[in-house]
Chain A
Amino acid sequence: MSGRYAIVAGDPAAVLAQHRALVTKPWKQRAADIGGPVAMVAMLVFSIWWLDISLGQIGPGLGALCEFIGLMFPPSTGGHLRLFLTAMAETLSIAFLGTLVAAGLAIPLALLAAENTSPNRILRFLVRRLLDVIRGVDTLIWALVFVAVVGLGPFAGILAIAVSDTGALGKLFSEGIEATRARERETVAASGGTALMGMRFGLVPQVLPIIAGQVLYFFESNTRSATIIGIVGAGGIGLQLSEQIRTYDFDQVAFIVLLILAAVAAIDWISGKLRFAIIGRRQP
């Protein structure tokens, strides 16, 4: 009656004793299995104590939050539909112009930063570090700085997005340029073309789809960033949003959030289609 895989119905303790080696782990593994979670929880408790977070704050806070959410329905324009739509157009403008300027600034920097096009090693090193520093500072910090320099308004937002994206796009473009084949440029040079012609006919056709795809992708993500830079005064829908939250007009807050979600979804859809058309079936 016993097949090959029959389970012996017997004393479980005996079975366990026989196959002890299969179920025990080395003590090191065991210590890590128990110690890891314990350390994480200890860190959690320490953080709560260090940051002086009183858990009693959570209850009333949640109560207030529920009240806010109750006030959000139904969402209403509060008679400011025109104002909100203008602000949304401003936000989209900030994202669009910021991305465009960033792409314009990033291309020459990327040519200087890429290994195969950079004229000089020292220059290349310096440009790379410059891009690193720009990327290390968040868009919102740039927005705050530009508000301090050029004053409140969407212009500061455009500059903030343009600068902070120059860092990111410059790095991505230079990687794209480094990934190109040298053969095309060599061909142009071999048939008597100048360096400039080599760029135009050997390099540009290879990197243009990559660059266009990345620029569109950044436009998508900048639409999201542009909604929040208004909170520090750099124009767009964020300013309206923070004002409505501060005055506790939560039905209008809900309307603005829905407006943002709709705009972001629309931009994602359009830019997704365009990216698809440019780079074909390849996913970024």
Chain B
Amino acid sequence: MSTGLPVLPEQRLSQLLAHYRGDLARRRLQSLAILGCLVVLVALAGRWGEVEPGKLLHHLSGLTSYFGRIMPTLRADHLTGDIADWYWNFFGWLKLLFDTVLIAYLATFVGMTGAGILACLGAANLAPNGAVRWGVKRLFEFCRTVPDLVFALLFVSAFGLGPLPGVFAIGIHSFGTLGKLYVEAIENIDMNPVEGVRSVGGRFVDAVRFAALPQVLPNLASYTLLRFEINVRASSIVGFVGAGGIGQDLFVAIRKFYYTDVSAILLMIIVTVSIIDVLTERIRHRLAPVEIVA
């Protein structure tokens, strides 16, 4: 009554088995080769990166004690006093955080304006000229490949300390990334309205204003808001090189081992960033129902 499996003839079975074993061996060899490559690369990288396992063990206790030390001492019976001690400079940091958000806003504005104008010249379906288009695309590429902190360092030397170099550094990086996204959005529009405007004698500017812009505006706004989120994170960092915002205070706190200040400022940054993320995400979902993968 059992529904047994059909047993293959011995000869056929051994044939299949040999085939399977050969397959398996080949796969094993391949895995071993990959593993070998990886080991060689790790050894090379370890040499260049000056990794010493002994140092790691030595520092392991330092690592845990560091994170223990940046935690504030909060006692249940002195809670308000302890929190006041921990956040002794709450309003000062709050002002700096507000500065940080404004730097991000200005940078997004700069990037958005520049990218908006140049994207129309860089999109294949609107560009009046192939050479201009090529130049614009390379410019976007350059601006988004050079890290914003490198721009910040350069601009701090040129403009002096303060929020202005931060705004320009993050702005230029946003210009590069937004430009690429804008160009892609514009290249995907329906061309009929553009031809309509051109057919009744509209110029380049008219075609952009009355045919392209209405189609892409929700998308562009959504990208820009997403960029604003990213810029808030970036602007909390540029202070490390003297370009304004909360980064400067965080830098000093970490460098001078003001342990509890580090956790206080970090917590404030994390909370601010999450609040802004939630707010802009709401607006973005209202603007464009599709989820954007940046």
Contacts and interface: CB of A to CB of B under 8 A. Distances in A.
B105 A61 contact: no
B34 to A, nearest CB: 10
Nearest to B63: A149
Contact of B49 (A48, A52, A158): A158
B188 to A, nearest CB: 16
Contact of B255 (A97, A140, A144): A144
Interface in B121-145: 145
B99 A97 contact: no
Given A93-B45, A137-B266, A158-B49, A44 B109 contact: yes
Contacts of B266: 137, 141
Interface stretch (A24-32, A171-179, A241-249): A241-249
B55 A100 contact: no
A47 B153 CA distance: 22
Interface string A105-143: 000000000000000000000000000010011101100
Contacts of A245: 153-154, 157
A145 B50 contact: no
B172 to A, nearest CB: 11
B153 A51 contact: no
Interface residues of A, number: 58
Interface string A9-51: 0000000000000000000000000000000100110011011
Nearest to B236: A138
B51 A97 contact: yes
Contacts of A225: 147
Interface string A238-274: 0001100110100001000100110010000000000
Interface in B57-71: 59, 62-63, 66
Contacts, number: 155
A150 B62 contact: yes
Contact-residue size bin, chain B (C-beta under 8 Å from the other chain) = 35 or more
Given A61-B158, A61-B159, A93 B147 contact: no
A68 interface: yes
Nearest to A64: B158
B276 interface: no
Q: Tell me whether chain A's interface is mostly helix, strand or loop, or mixed.
A: helix
B145 A264 contact: yes
A225 B233 CA distance: 14
Nearest to B265: A141
26 contacts: A47-B105, A51-B99, A51-B167, A61-B158, A65-B154, A90-B50, A94-B49, A96-B45, A97-B42, A97-B51, A100-B42, A136-B273, A140-B240, A149-B59, A150-B59, A150-B62, A155-B50, A155-B55, A157-B49, A225-B147, A228-B147, A228-B150, A241-B153, A246-B157, A260-B146, A264-B145
Highest count of chain A CB atoms <10 Å: which of B45, B46, B273? B45
A144 B167 contact: no
Contacts of B158: 61-62, 64-65, 68
Given A96-B45, A138-B233, A155-B55, A48 B106 contact: yes
Contacts of A136: 269-270, 273-274
Given A51-B102, A93-B46, A241-B153, A137 B270 contact: yes
A225 B52 CA distance: 22
Interface of B: 41-42, 44-52, 55-56, 59, 62-63, 66, 98-99, 102-103, 105-106, 109, 145-147, 149-150, 153-155, 157-160, 162-165, 167, 233, 236-237, 240-241, 244, 250-251, 254-255, 257, 262, 266, 269-270, 273-274
Interface in A58-91: 58, 61-62, 64-65, 68, 86, 89-90
Interface of A: 40, 43-44, 47-48, 50-53, 57-58, 61-62, 64-65, 68, 86, 89-90, 92-94, 96-97, 100, 133, 136-138, 140-141, 144-145, 148-150, 153-155, 157-158, 224-225, 227-228, 231-232, 235, 241-242, 245-246, 248, 253, 257, 260-261, 264
B105 to A, nearest CB: 6
In the A-B complex, the 5 residue pairs with the smallest Cβ-Cβ separation, listed nearest first, are A61-B159, A93-B49, A93-B45, A93-B48, A136-B270
Nearest to B147: A228
A154 B50 contact: yes
A227 B164 CA distance: 23
A149 B63 CA distance: 6
Contacts of B106: 44, 47-48, 51
B141 to A, nearest CB: 9
Contacts of A43: 105
Contacts of A52: 162-163
A86 to B, nearest CB: 8
A282 to B, nearest CB: 14
A128 B63 CA distance: 22
B219 to A, nearest CB: 16
B48 A261 contact: no
B45 A150 contact: no
